[in-house]
Amino acid sequence: MSTFQPVLPHDLLWGLPAAALPIDAPAWVFEAVGLGHPVVVRRARVAAGLVAVGVRGRSRDQRYATHMRLDDVQRCVRPEGLIAITADADWPALRALEQIRSVMDALGQPWGVAGGAGFELASGVPVLHAGSDLDLILRTPDYLDRQHAARLLEQLASAACRIDLQLQTPFGAVALREWAGSSRQVLLKAEDGARLVDNPWLAQAVAA
């Protein structure tokens, strides 16, 4: 398991055994896990040796939160590992990925594909449709000022579908669309929950 340490939110993991699922999990969860579909790492505090994950079903409302043992992880794919994959399907989300690639590369920061597009690119399981958004992450260990965020949002606006980009700060994630806006406080999604903060790059923003 040391090869995969540490796992990060939005990573896709393979290896969750169906026997590890709660007995009262919905039937579709057992089906997805039984088919060998990956699970996605989510933000939540769990005991040592475990990782919080979500199981994805066939429809948008089928999302199931659980956890898995790190020792069970057989494979891990990061969002950054998906940006160069060419898909056979021709959905707007995948066309948008091609359109914004040069914009994202020019930022000089690691970025990747998450959400349905990331899941389909990594697993080959068809989950996208004509109305799917393109979910992206941008790793921003250092402060990104709001003017730069607004310019990036504008550059992404002409893509073939809506793009939802999350800025991954050292203390959680904030939506680019929010950080580029005019509200003084934005919603930071952290391991211990979501809260409104002034600056997502400040440690005290997530203090208990």
The residue extents of the domains of the chain are 2-77, 79-206
End-to-end CA distance of the chain: give it in Å, rounded.
31
Cβ–Cβ < 8 Å for 173, 136: no
pLDDT at 204: 61
Q: Using CB atoms within 10 Å of the CB of residue 150, give its burial: 0 to 12 exposed, 13 to 18 middle, 19+ buried.
A: middle
Assigned token pair, 10: 């939005």
Cβ–Cβ < 8 Å for 50, 70: yes
Assigned token pair, 80: 């950054």
pLDDT at 154: 97
Residue 54 has pLDDT above 70, yes or no: yes
pLDDT at 207: 45
More confident residue, 87 or 73: 73
Q: How far apart, in whole angstroms, are the C-alpha atoms of residue 106 and residue 92?
A: 22
pLDDT at 2: 43
Q: What is the pLDDT averaged over residues 167-188?
A: 96
More confident residue, 89 or 15: 15
Strands (E) located in 26-177:
39-41, 50-56, 63-69, 75-77, 111-114, 134-139, 163-169, 172-175
pLDDT at 5: 60
pLDDT at 183: 94
CA angle 183-185-191, nearest 5°?
A: 140
Please write the tens of the pLDDT for every residue from 120-169: 999 999 999 999 999 999 999 999 999 999 999 999 999 999 999 999 99
Active site residues: 133, 135
Assigned token pair, 191: 């391991």
